[in-house]
Amino acid sequence: MTRTDTDRWQAVDLWFADHLLPADPAGEAALAANAAAGLPPHDVSPLQARFLGMVAKMIGARRVLEIGTLGGYSTLHLARALGPAAQVVTLEFNPHHADVARANLTAAGVMDRIDLRVGPAHDHLPDLAAAVEDGSEPPFDLIFIDADKPSNPVYLDWSMMLVRPGSVILADNVVRDGRVTDPDGDASVQGVRSFTGMVAADPRLEATVLQTVGVKGHDGFMLIRVASV
């Protein structure tokens, strides 16, 4: 990968965003607030945010779980795509990130359809699973995994307790600049590799990966359809 490659990827990304995406003052304000608050620049790109919202619309999602809120940029796009009658449950480990996200989502006028839970996802997922199991809450139609990659295998285990046949699970950052092929990679690479092995071995799941290049570099999503539970 050369500087020329990355410059070209970014230029193409920006060109498509300029042609295909409507003006988004709320999204731009959220990104600016995230930067001003010192959050890491790990938000999905505008085109990727539109992709998430379109997937939610295409499957008719009414209830979404997001593992990893950061400053709420992807949360905002999911909430807008689903509409006021739907619910997005989003889990954020870092209280400062959660405060920024809450302010962004309130400013965007979507906080009324969002359940933002603060603390380790491992603390909240059992409660969500218990509510689905006892029927007090419906399963999730879409789960977006975008948190600490070493925990991806754990998040997949819990996700399978929270879905129904036909649900979709999306996992971000699975390519990791191509490092996913390195058997001696870091903890994040190992988490993605283990996660991939679990998906491949589970007959209840169908999956593919979409590699992406653009303003976020070289990465990709894993798109998983739950055939049965």
Q: Which pLDDT score, from 0 to 100, does residue 28 have?
A: 98
Share of the chain above pLDDT 70, in %: 99
Q: Which of 44, 45, 46 is nearest to 66 (CA)?
A: 44
Span 39-53, average pLDDT: 97
Residues 65-98: tens digit of each pLDDT: 999 999 999 999 999 999 999 999 999 999 999 9
Residues 97-139: tens digit of each pLDDT: 999 999 999 999 999 999 999 999 999 999 999 999 999 999 9
Q: Which pLDDT score, from 0 to 100, does residue 1 have?
A: 57
Q: Which of 168, 173, 210, 172 is nearest to 55 (CA)?
A: 168
- Tell whether the torsion through CA atoms of 148, 223, 165 and 110 is positive or negative: positive
What's the chain's average pLDDT?
Answer: 97
Q: How confident is the model at residue 18 (pLDDT cuts 50, 70, 90)?
A: very high
Provide the whole-model pTM. 0.96
Residue 73's φ and ψ, nearest 5 degrees, are -65, -50
The DSSP output letter for 72 is S
Q: How deeply is 23 buried, as exposed, middle or buried, from its count of CB atoms within 10 A (0-12, 13-18, 19+)?
A: exposed
Q: Which pLDDT score, from 0 to 100, does residue 4 have?
A: 82
